[in-house]
Structure 1
């Protein structure tokens, strides 16, 4: 962490700083950029810009409105040449969308995340902390020894706490650091965990329900033998993250949600335990299978959640399903398991 702080402090004060997040920024990405911007302001930097490609997500916007936080970010950056870029909470370069062009031509780039990035650029400086459960805690671990949380107003602090709560699925996958900073903010603002839950519950909607119901109907359940892991494969063009989490809650050890209409995307989520080795090997085999068919996938994620994507084009459902099932069969055979479909 000291190396990250030293790298950030090495940026010259006469340079612009641009903080880039993934497209449709979620609360973790926005809170991380907020923390960094305040920190740089505090130590004397003046020209600090934030860009959220394609804006911020609806949930993020609603949460900020609920807390009366006005959030300003750039749409375009005019002085690109004298700019140091800091990319946060972005598991793969393609998640920057069209803004990836800013990082071309040898620009100085620092990449901070808790995900495993896909293809790395040898010209970038990466700080990837896989033991962290959020990008927020990485930033707070770094800056708080020389920074005061009271530089943020109470609404901003509650937003950061809510972002930690959301990113760590209600603290269920939170690291010790995330829990420490979450409790630290609650104590500082005299906020209860119920207040945070109420903030988040207020933002929940049911817009994903139709897609979830369709995905559940389409789902194919498999079981590995002899170790009895349940693997679910389904498809949906939207809400893959919500669908995979829901499948996990109803018993899936490994959930695979793919889409094929607007490009190819395979979203993979697994539980803790022995299934993780199948998850990791499946990702490798799926990427190899896509490459063997002449496509160049982009990919990124972390140890329990991963996305593989071929941008653009239309694919047939059976074509993508064949990639998934072929990769699954290869993996299960390598581990000496058999894969059987559970029929209704």
Structure 2
């Protein structure tokens, strides 16, 4: 008999949780014709029969997405992947539109990187679609007659703010979405309001920091198991109050209105492919990327393969220093191509002041 677990707002067993996942996968598997038609449309194929959907056991999935491998053609077959957000993991029920938001922001990330960092190796994006029925196809895969009217990346708006890039209804890359991080949709998946609508962007650092602190207020207010006991309650409330008082001390006033830096907030070891000589060959899983204050850019915490609360300062500092030396060397090679401030200078100061944490 399956053991019952108490969740925030209901009870669940392992078998019922597995059924929720299986039902979604079965729904997708039962709509293979739809999958083939979608792929054929984006690749400009003559017939969806050229597509072969892999067996369910070969599908790949993580905490928020499922990736369906699809083979195209027979003789010179190539493989593509259809990637879908898991609606029961991104807060779609509580915050309708979260699934589409995630897709739009990921597509915006691909478009931004391809347009601004063409040397960064990433998977090729052929197109994407939304629950509304809207579809967007990379112009290189459209018939020549339609390329000029359906191009996604012909115009890129300059940005001066904090938020996530999306490709809008006109196919234009624009900063017009809240700075989408995994924490936001995790909270909303637990029915905790973030009070940050999909179309929110920020022009100043302090306005963004204030709303981030509101996340924690709402978690404390709406999460049934937010505290363990009275002492824990006092500690959390004291910490939140203190952060509101001293938060401005962690950020320099000169950077209050920028610069803002595009950041892959979920980049970790399993998303970085390397060759035998440790040269990076591809970055994958480009989700949760957004434009953030430059002082929020920091070295990865996973350098020593330890959790944040398990780090050994001396071990981490050795690798952090090596990383910073490499960053400084890259900046010197690019001298004159970018305006100040240097990212390495800002990161060194935030490490010294404790803003890093």
Alignment TM-score, normalising by the size of structure 2? 0.28
Higher relative contact order (CA 8 A, sep 6+): 1
Alignment TM-score, normalising by the size of structure 1? 0.29
Q: Which has the larger radius of gyration?
A: 2
